[in-house]
Structure 1
Amino acid sequence: MARNALHDIKKSLDTLIGERVLLRANGGRRKTIERFGVLEETYPSVFVVKLDPPDGSFKRVSYSYADVLTETVELEICKDGENVRLRYTQVQ
């Protein structure tokens, strides 16, 4: 069942390539990273976000679809001045 959920997350993200996103991720040691960027690419196991430059340099980060499923990583799609959070729940 989890495999289908991961596949569904990937399919959803495939349609959002190039969209502006707000990324929230657990940075470890009680630190949460919150940055804007663009969903750049999806691969079979991971997706890549190109983060906006805080200091003029671009940075790319990648996360697995399982990170989204377990809510270690949260994505909000930024469209028309509104943020829409992507949420995935496992149906038991």
Structure 2
Amino acid sequence: MPSTLASIKNKLDAHLGQEMTVVAQAGRKKVTERTGILRETFPAVFVVDYDKTQSAVETVSYSYTDVLTANIELSFGEAE
């Protein structure tokens, strides 16, 4: 993944509207993996709409810092 917040945002801008997988740290040894659509990017956060069957929460925002610090991992389609 890119190494600066601006480059992370630029990369995500190129994938707007695409299906993506988000792998997030949910605790000490717990990891959650969900599939959703990248809806929007803002200066500090991006928004993902999740499939209602996978999660009770439909829309979640993450900061680019989460990606930079590896608290979450993102993948689009087959390969990045």
C-alpha deviation, 1:58, in angstroms: 6.1
CA distance in 1, matches of 2:45, 2:65: 9
State the match for 2:8 in structure 1: 9
Letter in 2 for 1:18: G
Residue 17 of structure 1 and its aligned partner are, at CA, apart by: 0.5
- Return the alpha-carbon distance in structure 1 between the equivalents of residues 66 and 55 of structure 2: 28
TM-score when scaled to structure 2? 0.85
Aligned pairs for 1:5-44 within 5 A: 5-44=4-43
TM-score for both structures, normalised by structure 1: 0.75
Bigger proportion of residues as strand: 1
Residues 42-90 of structure 1: per-residue CA shift (max 9 Å, x gap): 0100001101121696611111101101111100101xxx2x24xxxxx
The structure having more radius of gyration, on CA atoms, is 1
Matches of 2:56 and 2:24, distance apart in 1: 20
List gaps (5 residues or longer) in structure 1: 86-92
Share of identical aligned residues, percent? 44
Task: Give the Cα–Cα distance (whole angstroms) in 1 for the partners of residues 20 and 54 of structure 2.
Answer: 19
- Count how many residue pairs are aligned between Structure 1 and Structure 2: 78
